[in-house]
Amino acid sequence: MKFKSLLTLILLLLVAVAPGAAQSAPDFARIWDDNHISRIDPSQVRHGDLNKYIDELRGTGVKVSDVGRSVAGREIRQLEFGRGPFKVLLWSQMHGDEPTATSALIDLFAYLQRNRSEAWVKSIEENLTLRAVPMLNPDGAEYFQRRNLQGIDINRDARLLATPEGRLLKRLRDEWQPRLGFNLHNQNPRTAVGESGKQATISLLAVAYDPFRNDNEMRVLGKKVCAVIHSALSPYIYGQIGRYDDSFNPRAFGDLISQWGTQVILIETGGWHRRAEMDLVRLNFIALAASLLSLADGSAERANPGVYDALPFNEGGRIYDLIVRGGTLISRNPAPNFPVIAPFSGDLGINIDRGRIEPSRRVRAQIQEVGDMSGFTGLETIDATGYHIAVGAGTIRPGIEAVLLFYRSNRAAAIDWNAPDLETKYPPDAVYRNGEWTGSKPGS
Ligand SMILES: [Zn+2]
């Protein structure tokens, strides 16, 4: 008993004398779980919703400034926190359909402002000044499109400056001259980490400031911050952190801002199979909180930039939403003058178009590849050995909608594949349509 209370006392003392600012990724995760103010899925957040979040922030004392307007006249706002010498500019959603970080920035500023007595927040407040522009492209966000309303990719407008949004970003950087910038994006959820076939849930880039990808002190610091992010996120997405293509793009903001003297860190949020959008916001929150604290308390300087250099590069085209392996593929209703194609054995690679999914707009699944799909990874993989597979109508080929009718092969001889009402006349054992399964899925 005595021993136990002595232990408790020692533990209490340890907690009391521990450096107050030390927070780990699980702490940030818990903080987000208990405190996040973003409530709707990021892909549903339009400018009006963002304004409500920002009003909430303003109510807690976050400094908010109207800094510019989009092509359609939507206000673009900047948040500010801290009074330290090290200046960090963060911007999100310059591509309108890349929304995750916007919600994370809102949650981050809400927490920082309300919890200024916590040691780690105080460390950020005293050592850094943060400015953030959530949703740089509010028009794109409204229509859930990459480009602005002029049809211009703002991230390719750093030189021409034909967009009001691009001119704004340049002005905010030039007038303030921050040391570091965080350029926050989403990438294709089918991006893989190198040859691993694993989804690149987060990809990082310490942006090069010249075509030769040289290092200078600030780029090395950028790499160290990426190493901090890697260690913060690995407990959640081990093996799912990639390195973004680091070739220099002379039209892109990240690259030119780095050249102008503000080292940019690019964070690209990809997909996380079977996880909710909000789980990605949580990862972004952890990444940003860990990065900023490491800059504030100096621990970033001790991180190993080699961790970043060793990350595998992103690879596109290796992951499909669905791979159906080993079925017998049936082409139906040949058009006049089109040869009849005999059934053949082959795999199918299918991708799903995921926009901002609204009731009026159904999911569209498309056949992307026919033939040998070995070496590719499916987020879902079906072994269709022992099945005949017909499409809704026509020949099986890339580019058509993936309406797939699965029949056990022992039924095949009795089926008239060219029957116009195939699906009702010969009910399939399973159907894949609009990205959903009905019936008994092969292999289940
Ligand atoms: Zn982007």
Q: Say how many Å lie between the CA of residue 420 and the centre of ligand 1.
A: 44
What's 71's DSSP letter?
Answer: T
Q: Say how many Å lie between the CA of residue 211 and the centre of ligand 1.
A: 20
Model pLDDT, residue 67: 98
Q: Say how many Å lie between the CA of residue 185 and the centre of ligand 1.
A: 4
Per-residue pLDDT at 137 exceeds 90: yes
| pLDDT per position as a tens digit, 325-351 | 999 999 987 778 888 899 999 999 999
| pLDDT per position as a tens digit, 251-279 | 999 999 999 999 999 999 999 999 999 99
Across the chain, mean pLDDT equals 93
| pLDDT per position as a tens digit, 285-334 | 999 999 999 999 999 999 999 999 999 999 999 999 999 999 999 998 77
Query: How far are the Cα atoms of 325, 326, 345, 346, 398 from residue 372, in angstroms, in the given order?
Result: 9, 9, 9, 6, 13
Q: Say how many Å lie between the CA of residue 97 and the centre of ligand 1.
A: 8
| pLDDT per position as a tens digit, 143-185 | 999 999 999 999 999 999 999 999 999 999 999 999 999 999 9
Q: Say how many Å lie between the CA of residue 320 and the centre of ligand 1.
A: 20
- Cβ burial of 52 (10 Å; 0-12, 13-18, 19+) is middle
Confidence of residue 13 (pLDDT cuts 50, 70, 90): very low
The two structure tokens encoding residue 219: 């780029």
Give the start-end residues of each E strand in 13-74. 63-69
Beta-carbon contacts of residue 116 (< 8 Å; ≥ 6 apart): 122, 125
Model pLDDT, residue 182: 98
Q: Say how many Å lie between the CA of residue 187 and the centre of ligand 1.
A: 6
Confidence of residue 20 (pLDDT cuts 50, 70, 90): very low
Going by their DSSP bridges, the two strands 314-315 and 377-383 should be labelled as unpaired
| pLDDT per position as a tens digit, 211-255 | 999 999 999 999 999 999 999 999 999 999 999 998 889 999 999
User: What's the CA gap between 97 and 153, in Å, rounded?
Assistant: 12
Q: Do the Cβ atoms of 340 and 417 come closer than 8 Å?
A: no
Q: Say how many Å lie between the CA of residue 361 and the centre of ligand 1.
A: 23
- DSSP reduced 3-state for 339: coil
Residue 5 CA to its chain's centroid (Å)? 48
- Cβ burial of 32 (10 Å; 0-12, 13-18, 19+) is buried
Q: Say how many Å lie between the CA of residue 369 and the centre of ligand 1.
A: 26
Model pLDDT, residue 117: 97
Q: Say how many Å lie between the CA of residue 392 and the centre of ligand 1.
A: 35
Q: Say how many Å lie between the CA of residue 124 and the centre of ligand 1.
A: 27
Domains and their CATH numbers in the chain: 19-315 (3.40.630.10), 319-439 (2.30.40.10)
The partner residues of 344 in beta bridges, in order of sequence, read 329
The two structure tokens encoding residue 160: 């021409």
Q: Say how many Å lie between the CA of residue 66 and the centre of ligand 1.
A: 23
Least confident of 59-63, 220-224, 383-387, 393-397: 393-397
Q: Say how many Å lie between the CA of residue 440 and the centre of ligand 1.
A: 39
Q: Say how many Å lie between the CA of residue 14 and the centre of ligand 1.
A: 45
Least confident of 66-70, 158-162, 329-333, 392-396: 392-396
**What does the angle CA 328 – CA 334 – CA 340 come to, to the nearest 5 degrees?**
60
Q: Say how many Å lie between the CA of residue 71 and the centre of ligand 1.
A: 19
Q: Say how many Å lie between the CA of residue 390 and the centre of ligand 1.
A: 37
Model pLDDT, residue 362: 62
Q: Say how many Å lie between the CA of residue 252 and the centre of ligand 1.
A: 11
Q: Say how many Å lie between the CA of residue 259 and the centre of ligand 1.
A: 19
Q: Say how many Å lie between the CA of residue 268 and the centre of ligand 1.
A: 7
Model pLDDT, residue 15: 45
Q: Say how many Å lie between the CA of residue 265 and the centre of ligand 1.
A: 13
Model pLDDT, residue 337: 82
Q: Say how many Å lie between the CA of residue 98 and the centre of ligand 1.
A: 6
Model pLDDT, residue 116: 97
Count of residues for the chain?
A: 444
Q: Say how many Å lie between the CA of residue 140 and the centre of ligand 1.
A: 12
The partner residues of 315 in beta bridges, in order of sequence, read 192
Q: Say how many Å lie between the CA of residue 27 and the centre of ligand 1.
A: 29
Q: Do the Cβ atoms of 378 and 321 come closer than 8 Å?
A: yes
Model pLDDT, residue 222: 98
The two structure tokens encoding residue 150: 């002029």
Q: Say how many Å lie between the CA of residue 165 and the centre of ligand 1.
A: 14
User: What's the CA gap between 381 and 444, in Å, rounded?
Assistant: 11
Per-residue pLDDT at 284 exceeds 50: yes
Model pLDDT, residue 14: 47
Determine the straight-line distance between the first and last CA of the chain, rounded to whole angstroms. 55
